[in-house]
Structure 1
Amino acid sequence: MLDVLVIAPHPDDAELGMGGAILKMLADGWKVGVLDLTSGEPTPHGTPELRKQETAAATEILGLTWRENLGLPNRSLEPTLENRAKLAGVIRQQRPRWLFAPYWVDAHPDHTAATKLVDDARFWAKLSKTDQPGQIELQGERHHPERIYNYYCVHLKQAATPAFILDISDHWEQKLASIRAYESQFITGRPTEPPTFLDQLRDEAAYWGKTIGVKYGEPFHCREPIGMSGFGALI
């Protein structure tokens, strides 16, 4: 059973969008899992075997509680009934309190499909009587995560307006190390003159940190109201 399940369209999206948050939650003793929906391949410099090795290395750097891949097709991810049932089954199995999904506005069709799939599977995971004739049977006991939060890992040039920003200053270097593990994606074949891709990631994190008066930050959104029990955790 997980406290948090991060759902990523491809291996590396969780690290890019919320690697700092994952590290912060793990440091606080939370059980955090990542479910990659696809292999992420083909890519210009990657292979399925290499991507698995890089994912394993990034997983070890983060120290994740659990990580699996749902095995859905890369580049043609769709929120079908079959895929919804598969994801709902994982949610029932892991029983997380919170889900994290990509931000819902993006140029990458896999990312927008993933967010739709998470929304639909969260609803299906709470259904009862799925063993009736004409129903798609779901494995496991019904479960309904309390919230879906959205992380930013977008392929669209836009000025984001997040609901909140998390201070990840203490975890930036480890987040960066987990991203560097995907050498085929972010180092091989990339321009070496600054600003490199990794330089840009650092600058983005510094920008979000500056907005809340810290060194590095990660932005998040949520379609539902965010509740507070007090002001003690506010910066």
Structure 2
Amino acid sequence: MSIDIMVIGAHPDDVEIGMGGTIAAFSQAGYKVLILDLSDGEPTPAGTHEKRMIEAKNAAEILKVEKRITLDLVNREIMDTVENRKKVATVMRQYKPTLLFIPYWDDGHPDHVEAAKLCTSARFYSKFVKSEMAFEPHFPEKIYHYLTLHMRLRVDPSVIFDISNLIETKINALNAYASQFIDNKKNTAAFESVRTENAYWGKQIRVAYGEPFICKENIKMSSPDRFLDA
């Protein structure tokens, strides 16, 4: 099975925080989206493996993604190693995504920093011809980075996607993670924080809510209509 979009997060809920609205938009438009969680988020103060897997499944159903996969990397110990590159690259080779969405490379959370390195390296490994990795070689066309920042950074997005009509879908997906945002009283302000941040980015493009993305590579435009989508 080939998919169009692969969205990779270090932990369950990362991709929903960073780009839940955009994921929903891709799904609504008929694109096949696969979410790859590098870890199950454990160990963590709130939740269990079983509960977090159920929450991740429910969130994926709300966003109507094609498939969600969880690898066996460990929360707080995610590293850009050769072994881990091959694990991620094998998934890329199996599902052959056109686009990758991965965490931003500068963050206070070491897992997010390493995940960005790991996914970028895995993209390169995915095209290896002489390899013991399963499936045929594949090279995703483009990487976009989404934000799940643990520190206050000034970021200049390459593009901001309008999620004004999907902000409630995004919040509903985050609501699926009760162990993290409802039962865990330290994080009950997360929903307001997400709305505020997405409202900020939306204001930059004169809409209600937006999600920012950064691309290190040049972005191709082949239709003049895209200039007018501003």
> Could you say whether these structures have the same fold, taking a TM-score greater than 0.5 normalized by the shorter chain as the test?
yes
SS at match of 2:165: helix
Matched-pair contact (CA < 8 Å) for 1:20–1:168: yes
SS at match of 2:80: coil
> Could you tell me how far 1:121 is from its partner in structure 2?
0.7
CA distance in 2, matches of 1:33, 1:53: 17
Matched-pair contact (CA < 8 Å) for 1:190–1:197: no
| Amino acid of the structure 2 residue aligned with 1:181 | A
> Could you tell me how far 1:232 is from its partner in structure 2?
2.0
Note closer, same or farther for the CA distance 1:192–1:13 as it changes in structure 2 (3 Å cut).
closer
CA distance in 1, matches of 2:176, 2:184: 15
CA distance in 2, matches of 1:78, 1:227: 32
Q: Does 1:219 align with 2:212?
A: yes
Alignment of 1:194-209 (within 5 A): 196-209=189-202
| Amino acid of the structure 1 residue aligned with 2:32 | K
Taking only aligned residues, the RMSD between alpha carbons, in angstroms, comes to 1.3
| Match in the other structure for 2:113 | 112
| Match in the other structure for 2:142 | 147
> Could you tell me how far 1:107 is from its partner in structure 2?
0.8
CA distance in 2, matches of 1:84, 1:24: 29
| Match in the other structure for 1:179 | 174
| Amino acid of the structure 1 residue aligned with 2:70 | N
User: What's the CA shift string for 1:102-150, capped at 9, x where partnerless?
Assistant: 00000111111111111111001111122xxxxxx11110000000110
CA distance in 2, matches of 1:71, 1:96: 21
Matched-pair contact (CA < 8 Å) for 2:103–2:148: yes
| Match in the other structure for 2:152 | 157
User: What's the CA shift string for 1:170-225, capped at 9, x where partnerless?
Assistant: 111011000011111112232599xx221111011111111101111000001111
- Runs of 4+ in structure 1 deviating by more than 6 angstroms, as ranges, are none
Matched-pair contact (CA < 8 Å) for 1:97–1:145: yes
Q: TM-score w.r.t. structure 1 length? A: 0.93
> Could you tell me how far 1:42 is from its partner in structure 2?
2.0
Identical residues among aligned pairs (%): 47
Matched-pair contact (CA < 8 Å) for 2:181–2:187: no
| Amino acid of the structure 1 residue aligned with 2:176 | A
SS at match of 1:43: coil
Q: TM-score w.r.t. structure 2 length? A: 0.95
| Amino acid of the structure 2 residue aligned with 1:16 | I
Matched-pair contact (CA < 8 Å) for 1:123–1:144: yes
CA distance in 1, matches of 2:52, 2:147: 22
Gaps of 5+ in 1: 131-136
Which structure has the larger Rg? 1
Matched-pair contact (CA < 8 Å) for 2:57–2:68: no
Q: Does 1:28 align with 2:22?
A: no
| Match in the other structure for 1:73 | 74
| Match in the other structure for 1:133 | none
Matched-pair contact (CA < 8 Å) for 1:97–1:147: yes
CA distance in 1, matches of 2:11, 2:27: 21
| Match in the other structure for 1:97 | 98
CA distance in 1, matches of 2:45, 2:10: 18
CA distance in 2, matches of 1:191, 1:127: 44
CA distance in 1, matches of 2:186, 2:66: 34
Note closer, same or farther for the CA distance 1:140–1:38 as it changes in structure 2 (3 Å cut).
same
| Match in the other structure for 2:223 | 230
